[in-house]
Structure 1
Amino acid sequence: MGALIRVYALTVVRIKEFTTSQFRQNDAGAFLTIDRHPVLLPPTLARLLKAHMASPQASSMLKPRASSGPDYLLPGRHAGRPLSASHIIKRLRNHDLPTRAARNTAMINAITELPPIVISDLFGLSASTAFQWAKFAQQNWTGYLALQE
């Protein structure tokens, strides 16, 4: 799940709500629907998600009850509920994957390649937040690029 943060600047709170029905694969590639947008996944990430869904690791000590709810990519201890955000963050930290720094880096990379309004729609941010990220990225990268010349 760290890859979803690093590639798409997603928050753990959003990732924990992803369900298996949001993943689709066809001849064109593998897609994960983020909000209402099917996003093409890199092949390696698609393989990882497929393998993860093939053997979900619910952490309950009790036999899970049948659930009429969605099948979460990250199933929690209770049937029909995802892992908590704090548990996911703890798992990522145990593998030296800091979530905030990874998301910030991904957001800066995205905002330098796409217009803020596209980022707003794609990542589910408010337009003002996307424009703040663009301003932040421009301020930081301008000085850095000037030093590289």
Structure 2
Amino acid sequence: MLDELPSRQQHVQYLRTVMVAAGVLPVRDEQIDGIPPWLDALLAAQPPHITRLIRPYASWSVLRRARGRSKGRASTPSVQKYARSRILIAVRFLRWLDEQQLSLGTITQRHVDAWLDAGTTTHLRLRDFLLWAHGRRLAPKLHVPWLGSQEDPDDFLDDHERWRLLRECFTEEDIPLHRRVAGSLVLLYGQRPQHIVTLTHSHITRRGTDTYLTFDRHPVLLPPPLAEIVQRLAEAERFGRRSILRDHDSGSELLFPGFRPGAFMDHGRLTKQLNARGIRVRPARNSALCSLAGDLPAPVVAELLGVHITTAVRWGRLVKRDWAAYLVARSEDGQ
């Protein structure tokens, strides 16, 4: 019944999380499992020939990859946004083909270029659907430019400013603890706020006097000042507004709990808080990743921080690091 209501309405989302936290509804990955009901409502208004194309594309391509990317970590709202945007663009393109009295199997590059030129850069998200359609012989091979940036980043913090901000995060007691931890993870490890907010107590490991934090698959040893504030955050009382379920502890495992029961903090809100404190997330991440890529081979950066290997290689290239020696060493060790 809740899935039949508009999913973007805040009161519907809040009611669902309260009922899940109270045990009335089963737990599900809301960012991904909430898409099929939305998809059903979207396709109900489409002609049958569009539904026959979009449903398998959404189910076996978009959602399948979304679940794969979220395996082992909590999904963020950006996962749902990514999936919905690609499905919507594909629907809009097919509706446009109908208006032009064209079919997917007979269109040419000229038709695709005309559609791209008539829209904004969001039309470039059509690339994913056309690749899928061509792979199943439903469309000819067509080219759509990649939406991602082809240029190297140019917004960085200088080392002096980066370390000054890190010292503030480690030592300034007037800064809320969760912002100190989040700022440190951005400045030191280049973590995205949307991944930071999903961290739980289970990501923290103690081995003797050492504290480790797992970003992806491998625990990362934290420097003592950061380890101290991470432990303090884990042991602190829940910050922010209290949920309507005052005696419920469904969010107790979350390091960055949100207002809704059992939900983590909105990453956009955390980003605004860090920016307001002077920790501009984008240049801070750029500087951290550049520093790490200069010290570590790309495969290590990818494995430790959970970034894609292509991203890690790109940063290694940016700092002109040659990690061929690392591959040779791995080979000699029999790994």
Aligned runs of 1:117-136 on 2, under 5 Å? Answer: 117-136=299-318
Does structure 2 retain, via aligned residues, the 8 Å contact 1:22–1:32? Answer: yes
> Which of 67, 88, 97 is the equivalent residue of 2:270?
88
**Among candidates 11, 24, 34, match of residue 205 of structure 2:** 24
Structure 1 counterpart of 2:234, from 53, 60, 64: 53
**Residues 21-76 of structure 1: per-residue CA shift (max 9 Å, x gap):** 21122314011112121111111111111112222314236353525467111110
CA root-mean-square deviation: 1.9
- How far off is 1:94 after superposition? 2.0
Instruction: Tell me the percent identity.
Output: 29
Q: Look up the match of 1:3.
A: 184
Which amino acid in the other structure matches residue 44 of structure 1? P
What is the one-letter code of the residue matched to 1:21? S
Instruction: List alignment gaps of at least 5 residues for structure 1.
Output: 140-149
CA distance in 1, matches of 2:243, 2:195: 26
Residue pair 2:250, 2:262 contacting (<8 A) in 1 also:
yes
Relative to its length, the structure with more strand (as a share) is: 1
1:64 to 246, 255, 275: 246
TM-score, normalised with respect to structure 1: 0.84
Q: Which residue of 1 aligns with 2:290?
A: 108
Structure 1 residues 13 and 105, CA gap change in structure 2 (3 angstroms): same
Is the 2:219–2:304 Cα contact (8 Å) retained in structure 1? Answer: no
Partner of 2:122: none
Counterpart-to-counterpart distance in 1, 2:315 and 2:193: 19
User: How far 1:3 sits from its partner (Å)?
Assistant: 0.2
After TM superposition, the runs of 4+ consecutive aligned structure 1 residues lying more than 4 A away are: 67-70
Distance 1:61 1:124 in 2: 31
Q: Which has the higher contact order (CA 8 A, sep 6+)?
A: 1
Q: Secondary structure at the match of 2:319?
A: helix
Contact 2:243 2:260 in 1 (8 A): no
Q: Which moved more, 1:126-135 or 1:99-108?
A: 126-135
Structure with greater Cα Rg: 2
Alpha-carbon separation, structure 1, partners of 2:319 and 2:313:
10
Contact 1:3–1:45 (Cα < 8 Å) also in 2: yes
Give the partner amino acid of 1:76. Answer: G
Task: Give the paired residue count.
Answer: 139
Partner of 1:144: none
